[in-house]
C-alpha cells in the first residue's frame, strides 16, 4: 500500500465530477477512453479546463475519424454497438479537437498518434494487428487511428511561450 501524500483519486461519473473538486485545483486530469462514450466534447473540455490548476495538464485520448479504418469500423459496427449498449460512440476529427481546445482556452502542448486500425483484423488474424503496429509505428505517428493529446490552459503551454 503506497502512501501518496497530496494525491487525491476520485472515481465516479465524469458528469458529476466537477461538483466534487474545487475549481483550478487539478494538476493532472486523465481522460482516457472516455470522450467517445460520453460525447459532448465542448462541455467536457470546458469542465476540465475549469478544474485544471494554472500549471495543470489534461491527458486526452480519443479515436480519430481522420483514419479511414475508424470510419470503416464505425460503418460496419455502429448499429450493433447501439443495439447492445444503447448509445453510439461519438468520434471526432483532429480538427474538432483543435477547435474545441481553442474555444475553451486550452492549448495542445503535445500530441501523438498511434494505431494501425484495420477493421476486424484481430478477429481474422489474432496478433497480426499488433505486429503491423510495431512494424509501421513511424507511419502510425502521422496517420494513426488513436491520438493522445497533452493539453494545458492557454498561456501555460509550450506553444504560448
Q: Which of 35-44, 49-58, 60-69, 152-161 shows the lowest mean pLDDT across its residues?
A: 152-161
The HSE-up count of residue 36 (CA atoms within 13 Å, CB side) is: 18
Sign of CA dihedral 14, 48, 85, 130: negative
Of the ranges 52-56, 64-68, 70-74, 138-142, the best mean pLDDT one? 52-56
pLDDT band at 113 (very low <50, low <70, confident <90, very high): confident
Residue for cell digits 470546458?
46
Q: Residues 100, 30, 84, CA angle at the centre, nearest 5°?
A: 80
Tell me the per-residue pLDDT of 65-112, one tens digit each, with 9 for 90 and over: 887 878 888 888 899 989 999 988 888 999 999 999 999 999 999 998
Among residues 103, 86, 93, 104, the alpha carbon closest in space to that of 147 is found at 93
Can you tell me the mean pLDDT for 111-136? 73
Q: Does 21 score more than 90 pLDDT?
A: no
The more confident residue out of 123 and 90 is: 90
Give the lowest-confidence range in 15-24, 31-40, 68-77, 114-123. 114-123
Amino acid at each position: 500500500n503506497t502512501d501518496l501524500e497530496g494525491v487525491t483519486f476520485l472515481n465516479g461519473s465524469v458528469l458529476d465530477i466537477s461538483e466534487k473538486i474545487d475549481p483550478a485545483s487539478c494538476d493532472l486530469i486523465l481522460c482516457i477512453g472516455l470522450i467517445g462514450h460520453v460525447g459532448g466534447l465542448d462541455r467536457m473540455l470546458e469542465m476540465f479546463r475549469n478544474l485544471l490548476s494554472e500549471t495543470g495538464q489534461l491527458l486526452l485520448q480519443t479515436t480519430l475519424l481522420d483514419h479511414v479504418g475508424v470510419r470503416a469500423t464505425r460503418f460496419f459496427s455502429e448499429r450493433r454497438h447501439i443495439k447492445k449498449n444503447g448509445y453510439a460512440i461519438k468520434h471526432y476529427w483532429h480538427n474538432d479537437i483543435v477547435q474545441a481546445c481553442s474555444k475553451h482556452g486550452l492549448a495542445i502542448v503535445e500530441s501523438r498518434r498511434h494505431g494501425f486500425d484495420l477493421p476486424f483484423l484481430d478477429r481474422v488474424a489474432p496478433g497480426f494487428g499488433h505486429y503491423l503496429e510495431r512494424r509501421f509505428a513511424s507511419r502510425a505517428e502521422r496517420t494513426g487511428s488513436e491520438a493522445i493529446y497533452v493539453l494545458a490552459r492557454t498561456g501555460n503551454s509550450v506553444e504560448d511561450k
